[in-house]
Amino acid sequence: MPRRRRRRRAVSLAAAVLTSVPLAAAAAGEAADPPALYREHCASCHGADRLGGSGPALLPESLSRLRQDAALRTIAAGRPATQMPGFGDVLSPDAIAAVTAWIYRPLIEAPTWSLEQMRASRTVTTSPSALPARPVHAADPLNLFTVVEAGDHHVTILDGDRFEPIWRFPTRFALHGGAKYSPDGRFVYLGSRDGWVSKHDLWGLQTVAEIRVGLNLRNIAVAADGRYVIAGNTLPKTVVILDARDLTPLKIIPAEDRQRRPSRVSAVYTAPPRQSFIVALKDQPELWEISYRDDPEPQAKGFVHSYQPGMLEGAFDFGPFPVRRIPLDTPLDDFFFDPPYRHAIGAARDSRSGQVINLNVGRKTHDVPLDGMPHLASGITFEHGGRPVLATPVLNEAAVVVIDMVTWQPVTRIATGGAGFFMRGHENTPYAWIDTSLGPERDQIQVIDTRTLEVVRTLRPEPGRTAAHVEFTRDGRYALVSIAERDGALLVYDTATFALIKRLPMSKPSGKYNVYNKINLSAGTSH
C-alpha cells in the first residue's frame, strides 16, 4: 500500500475509533476541504499560515512529538487547562480527520522568521528597574527547582529544602525540558518547541520578558557571563543571539556549513571556561564555536594561529559573535563536554561510534565505539579507579555505557532493567540514578554504585506508571523523581536510605532542574 494511502487510512481509522462510527463514514472525510475548515475554526488562534499565534504552530516539525491519534482526540475534546476548545460537537469525525491529516503536511514553501518578526513578538513584562533588590520569598535561592509540568503546560518553582511550591505559572505549548539559569541563579530562561524564549525572575517570582526566535526551537543556552542567550532552531535553520537582559535580538546566524548548505541545529550549549557557545549541526558535518568575548576578532585570530595541518582553511567568520567552524566526519545529533571543556564528545543517533573533538586544536582526535543510540546529553562524569569516566544511557538498549575519558575507550557496559533516557549523579553521593522509561519496565528507577559499576537497588515508585528524570538537591541528600503521567507526581527520596520522603501531585512533570547544581556545573547533571 502506498505510503500516502496508508497515512490517510490510519487517520480515518483513528477518527473512526475515536467516535465509534463506521470506517466507511470516516473515509468520506477525504472529500472535506481542510484549508477552509482550518481558516474557519483554527486560524484565529494558530495563525492563518499555521505558524502560531495565541496557540502553537501547527507544522510537522512542531507536532513531531504528538501522535496523530492524540491530535485527533485533542481537536475533538480540547486540551484541559488551556484555551484549546473541543470541536467534537461542531465538526464531523470526517472533518476532524481531514484537518488532522492536513496540519501534519509540510508547507509548500519553507517559512522564515526575520529580525523584524522577532522584535514584533517581544514583550517586556517587568522592566529591570522594577525588579526587587532581594528575594520576596524565604526559600534558599540556590536550592530552588524549576519543574516543567508538561501535562497542563505550566512550570512550578519548588523550594528544595521544604519541598513546597512557591510559584506556578503557565508556559507556551511543548516547553523544552532544559531550564537554563543566569550565572548567579537569579533568572531562569525557558524555550518552547515552537520558538518562544522567556525569562523569569526567581527572586521576584515574575516574568521578565518573552520573544519568539523561530518556528521550531531545538534548545537554548546562557553565556557564562550572563550577557547573552543563544537559541538553535530547526525551522527556520538559524542560530539566534539575544541580549539576556530583556531578550532583545542581536544577531541571526544562518545554520549553514562552509559551502552554504543549510542544516537544522542539533544542540547549543555554553562552554564557560572558553567564553563561547558550542553548536552542532544536524544535517552537515560541522561543529561551531561562537565566541562571546568582548574582543571577538582577536579571539578568532587566536584560533587561526592555533591551526593544525589538515584543518579547513578559512573556517572562521569574523565580526561580533564569530563562528569557528570545525569539520567532522559525520553530523552530530547531540554532544557532551569533558569537565575542563577541552573536548566535546558527540554521536549521531544512527552511528555505531562517537567522535571526540579537541576544541583547543579544532579537530577530531578519537573515535569511541558506541553500539546503540547513546543519549550523551544525559551523560554524567565521575571518578572510577582514579580516572575520570563518562557514563551515558543507551536509548535503544537496556544498558549504560561507561567510557574512560583519558583513553576514550569503553570501560564496561552495565546491564539495566530497560532502556533509559535520563541519568543523574551528585558529588556527595556514590550512587547514580537512571530511569528505564523507554523499555517495558517503564515504572522503575535503578541505582548504580559508581565504585563497583553495578546496579545495587531497583525502585518501583508507583507500579505501572512511568518513572523518569531524577535530579538532586544542592547537597545531594535528596533525589527527586518524576511520575511522568498527566495525574503524576514529584517524589522525594533520601539518597542514603532510598526511603520515600514526600509526594507532590503534579501534571506530567517532565523535568526538574536545581539552580545550584546547574550554575556550579555539577558533574552529575546536564549543563
Question: What is the per-residue pLDDT across 26-83, written as a single tens digit (0 to 9) for each?
Answer: 333 344 788 888 888 897 788 777 877 667 778 786 676 678 887 888 888 887 656 7
Q: Give the pLDDT score at 54.
A: 64
Q: What is the DSSP code (8-state) at residue 376? A: G
Inter-residue contact 429 to 459 (CB < 8 Å): no
Residue 137 lies in a domain: no
Which of residues 345, 370, 395 is at a domain's end? Answer: 370
Inter-residue contact 235 to 109 (CB < 8 Å): no
Residue 405 lies in a domain: yes
Q: Give the pLDDT score at 14.
A: 38
Per-residue cell: 390: 563518562
Cα–Cα distance, 172 to 153 (Å, whole number): 7
Please report, for the domain that includes residue 39, its CATH number: 1.10.760.10
Give the count of beta carbons closer than 10 Å to the beta carbon of residue 271: 21
Per-residue cell: 437: 522509561
Q: Are residues 321 and 450 in the same domain?
A: no
Residue 156 lies in a domain: no
Q: Are residues 466 and 514 in the same domain?
A: yes
Q: Are residues 487 and 514 in the same domain?
A: yes
Q: Give the pLDDT score at 374.
A: 84
- Burial classification of residue 158, based on how many CB atoms lie within 10 Å of its CB (0-12 exposed, 13-18 middle, 19 or more buried): buried
Residue 150 lies in a domain: no
Cα–Cα distance, 162 to 445 (Å, whole number): 23
Q: Give the pLDDT score at 358.
A: 96
Q: What is the DSSP code (8-state) at residue 224? A: T
Bridge partner residues of 249 (DSSP): 242
Q: Give the pLDDT score at 27.
A: 37
Q: Give the pLDDT score at 86.
A: 85
Torsion of CA 54, 484, 103, 84, to 10 degrees: -40
Cα–Cα distance, 499 to 522 (Å, whole number): 24
Which residues are CB-contacts of 303 (< 8 A; sequence separation ≥ 6)? Answer: 289, 316, 324, 362
- Burial classification of residue 164, based on how many CB atoms lie within 10 Å of its CB (0-12 exposed, 13-18 middle, 19 or more buried): exposed
Cis peptide before 236 (omega within 30 of 0): yes
Cα–Cα distance, 215 to 237 (Å, whole number): 10
Cα–Cα distance, 398 to 414 (Å, whole number): 8
Q: How many domains does the chain fold into?
A: 3
Please report, for the domain that includes residue 507, its CATH number: 2.130.10.10
Residue 141 lies in a domain: no
Q: Are residues 345 and 421 in the same domain?
A: no
Which of residues 103, 138, 154 is at a domain's end? Answer: 103
Query: Considering only CA atoms, which of 222, 269, 251, 364 is closest in space to residue 317?
Result: 251
Q: Are residues 359 and 481 in the same domain?
A: no
Q: Are residues 259 and 320 in the same domain?
A: yes
Q: Are residues 362 and 418 in the same domain?
A: no
Residue 251 lies in a domain: yes
Which of residues 328, 350, 370 is at a domain's end? Answer: 370
Residues 270, 271, 277, 282, CA torsion sign:
negative
Please report, for the domain that includes residue 349, its CATH number: 2.140.10.20
Cα–Cα distance, 146 to 47 (Å, whole number): 30
Amino acid at site 109: E
**Torsion angles phi and psi, residue 271, rounded to 5:** -115, 90
Residues 191, 248, 514, 455, CA torsion sign:
positive
Residue 151 lies in a domain: no
Q: Are residues 363 and 389 in the same domain?
A: no
CA distances from 268 to 162, 265, 290 (A): 33, 8, 10
Cα–Cα distance, 138 to 151 (Å, whole number): 28
Cα–Cα distance, 13 to 204 (Å, whole number): 50
Q: Are residues 273 and 402 in the same domain?
A: no
Q: Give the pLDDT score at 204.
A: 98
Q: Give the pLDDT score at 314.
A: 33
Q: Are residues 266 and 366 in the same domain?
A: yes
Residues in the chain, pLDDT under 50? 1-31, 298-316
Give the count of beta carbons closer than 10 Å to the beta carbon of residue 152: 15
Q: Which domain holds residue 65?
A: 3-103
Q: Are residues 26 and 66 in the same domain?
A: yes
Residue 90 lies in a domain: yes
Cα–Cα distance, 415 to 401 (Å, whole number): 9
Which residues are CB-contacts of 108 (< 8 A; sequence separation ≥ 6)? Answer: none
CA distances from 204 to 132, 135, 141, 225 (A): 6, 6, 11, 21
Q: Are residues 294 and 342 in the same domain?
A: yes
